Structure 1
């Protein structure tokens, strides 16, 4: 695993497309039991090198009901974005994750993560990649039908403050999905 992580952290496959440079950000250990698949690091994470080191990460840990120590314990959580480097700013937020990363690196990573019991899919890029034919026409429908993907996958919206309106429009998410998320994580962590 350490050799693979070193290779990923040295990857420059998308360097020509990244004006802020490459800085692959991920965490993994062969003992990890939960995988968090997000989109790509934001500008703050690009600077710190710590995944989910921003307001989105605070909300995500709150949704999961885990402490930062638990979240960053690589023997519990593997944190693997769809794109490992910050893709840069677009017109209405960050650009999409670079498409090169997941096809090149996710399978080799998961081949070395034999203990994963739950894969949390954050946002439409992760959901489309992993759920393939199981993804619905919208992220809202995919998340609303989260039970279709359990016990292996649990799709979530992005916890970004930019999604506050979505959360207000979809109160069922915090009522129906968050308790199941917390229950599954607690069950896995305490086993």
Structure 2
């Protein structure tokens, strides 16, 4: 795993397309039981090199009812974005993750983490990549019908503060989905030794 992470962190595949430079952000450990797949690092994460080290991460940890100590323990939790580097900013927020990244690295990382029991798919980009055959027409439908892809996957909206409107329009998410999410994450983390 150490050699693979070193190789990922030295990757230059998208360098020509990254206006803020290359800085792959990933957390993985051979014994991880929970995998979090998001979009791509934002500006703050790019600057610090710490995944989900922003307001979105705070909300995600609230959803999971997870301490930073557990969240950042690579022996338990792997954090593998769809694109490992900050793609830059567009008119309506961050640009989409670079398309080269997931096909280049995800399979190798998954193969190196045989203990993963549950994968959280956060946002439309992660869901499109992983739910190609089982996905619904929209992110909302994927999240509403999360049980259809359990026990392997659990689709979630992005926890960004910009998603306040989506959360307000979909109160069922907090009422029905979050309790199930916490239950499934608890099961995944309890299955095996760290």
Same fold (TM over 0.5): yes
2:126 maps to what in 1?
Answer: 126
1:161 lines up with 2:161 in the alignment: yes
Find the aligned partners of 2:129 and 2:85 in 1 and give their Cα distance. 18
Matches within 5 A, 1:138-177: 138-177=138-177
Q: TM-score when scaled to structure 1? A: 0.99
Find the aligned partners of 1:188 and 1:98 in 2 and give their Cα distance. 29
Cα RMSD of the aligned pairs, angstroms, is: 0.7
CA displacement 1:84-143 (0-9 Å, x = unmatched): 000000000000000010000000000100000000000111101111121111110111
Find the aligned partners of 1:188 and 1:156 in 2 and give their Cα distance. 16
TM-superposed CA distance for 1:188, in Å, is 2.6
2:28 maps to what in 1?
Answer: 28
5+ residue gaps, structure 1: none
TM-superposed CA distance for 1:187, in Å, is 2.3
Matches within 5 A, 1:36-47: 36-47=36-47
Partner-residue secondary structure (3-state), 1:98: coil
Moved over 3 A (4+): none
